[in-house]
Chains A and B, each alone.
Chain A
């Protein structure tokens, strides 16, 4: 396979964005929660004039003066590579967006670019502040879809994003699109996850290495995620959540939009339930995603766990009915604490349930075999 390549003009564009980042921040931060800046559609000269009229000429001259050698050595020093819109390896999905980035700076496996076509990739996004249910759903969706051969894209943020990445890494690989340079882990506490993705997957950004994160770079990052994938799945989002921006952008591009339903009284799921009411595709498991993207029954994501005896089955049913601690299970089924505990641990070992840091259990997507 050919090494991805980028022309100096496209690399200079990335550098210009980095230079102008604080100025774009100033004019776009007037409307918080707004969409990706319209400015990014503009050509270099107009962008500089719009973002920083006073120093536009100076900045442009500065960026144009950077020698090509320097552009490439900076990338190499950060262990990154670049792929611009003129390269055949450039992800075709980005061509649909008028404000698509000129170049993608990547770190990790460049071979994944080939698989980064809209029909082979799915974006999973959701709230940073996610419930146990949301995190578990994201993880399971990530795992199932990666196992079914799709490329899972997300944004490395707290909550849903990180869980989707982790789930996908358990089965195969994943792509993270960042709002800062690809050589920087943001948020910093996800450094180990970022490192794992760099080793086994792909990290992408439109900004050159070393660029920090700004408020506007996140909605800008969302437009890339929406354009790369054939379908965007929102796992959990409150109203006015940032992940709804991605959903909006995906809908504008004519991409499929899916949402995982949540309890109707949960604020954390209000946004996704709204999306469903507005006609988004209902996502209950990986199969729903596969059906929506590839057509019903084209690819199967069937996952059935090990056989269960009557007692385990009863515990699983109680958990599905809303008992979420060992104590609640014991009370619901009139078991003693020891019996409920061992049943839950067995189910956890079999992969039917998972447990949070504070002892709250939730059901995974693994379905139990029919009796």
Chain B
């Protein structure tokens, strides 16, 4: 017997010596990290000694309080809470664990360790416990279920209310638990839980959304909305208060094409992590944060970093009403995310990359009083107006493609017939998007065209002349030139032209956002 095997034998002997008192059990669970879930293995050790229950492994306050919930829940469900020295370790120890979702895993591991039940180790579990043992829903179950499948778990135990959400993940058995007392039956094989039906991510979104028909008159605004939706272009509306800017923005999701299956799952995962997934939240998100929002609130932040409004608006619409009232640094924070579709939030000890591919829609008054300088009643100081409008040509506004000037609709228009419904506009938008995808690849729109792709757009001769003329006469910048081409491409996609004509360039020139001199 060589040295190494002698040592192994001694170790085994020592364990056998204490085996009467040491029982170790583990359970698989997950904790949320940004908008994805990270695996956590719960190890519970029940040891002889003074009765105590400690949780180690970077738990936050909610996890530490699990001790009290677990103790009460076990006793109230008729289990025995061992009067021993209990240590629950959450591995990996370097990962910070947050939230009450670990309750279920800790209690099951404890029950296993004290020999009260035996559950397969390939079953992941997540859920918060009430004192009476009932299992409460937790946020982010969709992300957790996806992580469980990736980790190779055969099944996942989730709170009953989160069942439909977890069932969205294919290739994973979902077990819905209403109370901790059901665990014993489950472990003994006496109870076969019903398989929950996956919740519907209604991709056609449909009738619950406000309809564009409410926007009466305002033909140019309707057209600008249609072009913006068709090409995924960002939109700025400028006009007096009450002219219909917010109304128009809230109707935008209803004319956007439905989400693809993968996109719908992305959106659902984000809203699940933020605890907002439920009935009526399917479809493209529409977020309109108040203008007092902080940079961290908009792009994500905090410690550990959590998603902000930009991420919540992923694949949907982010509406910034009163653009000029937003803090400058807040708007600046949106610049890089707007270009890349991702936001990287770094805080001490944590770094997250969160998706945020949204359509930016902004609205502003023409001057501080809102009437507009051409109104004789407007009494704004010139410097105040300049300062106000300077924010419309800042670095963020530079990334806005379409400008819609809005005026108060006349009485006849407001009393007139309802406008075209969202349904028909959306059909045109979908056709235009299909053309773009055929040209650019799946999931891409004209707004995302690279400079090289823009150069490949073919123009009729008269269209090229018009563009060149405007370029020299109106002193367009190179960026504005490309912006006009992108818009013209979208207009041509809406009308079904393969080559961009004079009419389309003219419309794009008119729709484009103006630069200050």
Contact = CB atoms under 8 A, between A and B. Distances in A.
Interface of A: 128-133, 158-159, 166, 263, 265-268, 324-328, 330-331, 335-338, 340-346, 348-349, 351, 355-360
Nearest to B383: A158
Given A338-B491, A355-B514, 15 more contacts: A159-B382, A268-B376, A325-B405, A336-B223, A341-B220, A341-B506, A345-B506, A348-B509, A349-B469, A349-B474, A356-B514, A357-B392, A358-B392, A358-B405, A359-B403
Given A263-B376, A358-B392, A360-B374, A330 B220 contact: yes
A129 B381 contact: yes
Contacts of A341: 220, 223, 506-507, 510-511
15 contacts: A158-B386, A267-B379, A326-B510, A328-B407, A330-B220, A335-B219, A336-B219, A337-B219, A341-B511, A342-B503, A345-B506, A345-B507, A345-B509, A357-B515, A360-B374
Interface string B494-517: 000000000111111111001111
Nearest to A326: B220
Interface string B448-474: 000000000000000000100110011
Contacts of A166: 517
A349 B470 contact: yes
A14 B58 CA distance: 76
Given A129-B381, A327-B220, A349 B404 contact: no
B174 interface: no
A217 B141 CA distance: 71
Q: What size tier do the contact residues of chain B reach?
A: 35 or more
Contacts of B389: 357-358
A364 to B, nearest CB: 12
Contacts of B373: 131-132
A336 B404 CA distance: 14
Indicate the member of A130, A133, A344 with the most B CB atoms within 10 Å: A344
A131 B373 CA distance: 6
A132 B382 CA distance: 12
B238 A359 contact: yes
Nearest to B393: A357
B509 A128 contact: no
Contacts of A358: 238, 366, 372, 389, 392, 403, 405, 514
Main secondary structure of the interface of B (DSSP, over half): helix
B101 interface: no
B374 A267 contact: no
Contacts of A129: 381-382, 385
Contact of A331 (B376, B410, B469, B508): B410
Contacts of A337: 219-224
Contacts of A335: 219
A130 B466 CA distance: 31
A311 to B, nearest CB: 11
B140 to A, nearest CB: 43
B219 A331 contact: yes
B405 A359 contact: yes
A351 B466 CA distance: 12
Contacts of B510: 326, 341-342, 344-345, 348
A322 to B, nearest CB: 10
Contact of B374 (A132, A265, A330): A132
Nearest to B468: A349
B337 interface: no
A77 B456 CA distance: 52
A141 to B, nearest CB: 17
A132 B405 CA distance: 14
A10 B511 CA distance: 56
A335 B509 CA distance: 18
Contacts of B218: 327
Nearest to B406: A327
Contacts of B413: 331
A214 to B, nearest CB: 19
Contacts of B164: none
B253 interface: no
A359 B515 CA distance: 11
Interface in B367-418: 372-374, 376, 379, 381-383, 385-386, 389, 392-393, 403-407, 410, 413
